């Protein structure tokens, strides 16, 4: 979830009248170039000069639309948030949350730079996501603060899981993998972990089902957010 929105949010500034020639680009034009470059080369590839070159304009002209890289990231984040295809709500809290969560997970696979993005303001598509998630959680009959906390928790789990998954390493093996942990346990310094790994269904790398782990995480969060259903 983006952090607190500043009062001069990019989308509120977009209509400001500025001196000089009439702008010939849209915010979506700029965002599309940024997303294409970041998908191919990562966020480090972005600079005002590079984006201006890709758009066939000068860096000074680009500053008529955005203030710097922070604005570029906000535009990118909002553009990819437009990839959500929200199905009509079923009223089944788990099913409706999972529909959004699986889309978000796939989005992180397509745009690996999302794990590094931390936009300071929500754009139109980001607000559409937030609005939809409020409706998704409505059956839980939560207070407003609880709804917003729930959305942040679900979004955070998706980001952490998808970010780790995008590296090619399943989340449960983070920290070196089950084999590494088992080898370290031989030292005898970690009795609680040793007892856990001695169980018949102990964590292990073979046969890990990322889909099941992802959904189990969503289920655990929903239990904490809305209680047993």
**Domain of residue 92, residue span:** 1-140
- What local confidence, expressed as pLDDT, does residue 154 receive? 94
**pTM attached to this predicted model:** 0.79
- What local confidence, expressed as pLDDT, does residue 190 receive? 87
With a CB cutoff of 8 Å and minimum separation 6, the contacts of 52 are 58, 59, 61, 62
Residue 46 covered by a domain? yes
Residue 180 covered by a domain? no
Residue 96 covered by a domain? yes
- What local confidence, expressed as pLDDT, does residue 188 receive? 80
CA 162 to chain centre: 8
Q: What is the CATH number for 118? A: 1.10.357.10
Residue 210 covered by a domain? no
27-41 vs 48-55: helix crossing angle, rounded to 10: 110
- What local confidence, expressed as pLDDT, does residue 11 receive? 82
Question: How many domains in the chain?
Answer: 1
Q: What is the pLDDT along the chain (229 residues), one digit of tens a residue?
A: 555 444 456 887 655 545 554 457 889 999 999 999 999 999 999 999 999 999 999 888 899 899 999 999 999 999 999 999 999 999 999 999 999 999 999 999 999 999 888 888 889 999 999 999 999 999 999 999 999 999 999 999 998 888 788 766 555 544 556 677 778 888 888 888 888 777 776 665 555 678 888 999 999 999 889 876 5
Residue 181 covered by a domain? no
- What local confidence, expressed as pLDDT, does residue 189 receive? 81
- What local confidence, expressed as pLDDT, does residue 202 receive? 61
How far apart, in Å, are the Cα atoms of 116 and each of 67, 73, 76, 95, 151? Answer: 20, 10, 12, 28, 19
CA distance 128 to 132: 6
How far apart, in Å, are the Cα atoms of 63 and each of 5, 159, 169? Answer: 20, 30, 39
């Amino acid at each position: 979830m983006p952090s607190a929105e500043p009062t001069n949010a990019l989308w509120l500034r977009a209509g400001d009248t500025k001196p000089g020639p009439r702008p010939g680009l849209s915010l979506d034009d700029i965002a599309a170039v940024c997303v294409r470059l970041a998908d191919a080369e990562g966020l480090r590839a972005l600079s005002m000069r590079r984006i201006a070159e890709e758009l066939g304009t000068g860096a000074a002209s680009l500053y008529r639309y955005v203030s710097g890289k922070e604005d570029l990231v906000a535009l990118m984040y909002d553009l990819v948030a437009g990839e959500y295809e929200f199905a009509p709500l079923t009223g089944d809290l788990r099913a409706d949350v999972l529909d959004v969560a699986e889309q978000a997970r796939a989005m992180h696979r397509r745009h690996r730079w999302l794990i590094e993005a931390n936009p300071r303001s929500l754009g139109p598509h980001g607000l559409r996501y937030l609005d939809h998630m409020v409706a998704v959680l409505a059956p839980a009959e939560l207070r407003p603060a609880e709804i917003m906390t729930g959305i942040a928790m679900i979004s955070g789990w998706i980001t952490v899981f998808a970010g780790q998954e995008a590296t090619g390493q399943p989340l449960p093996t983070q920290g070196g993998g089950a084999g590494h942990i088992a080898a370290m346990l031989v030292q005898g310094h970690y009795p609680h972990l040793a007892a856990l790994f001695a169980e018949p269904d102990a964590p292990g790398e073979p046969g890990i089902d990322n889909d099941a782990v992802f959904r189990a995480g969503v289920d655990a969060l929903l239990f904490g957010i809305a209680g047993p259903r």
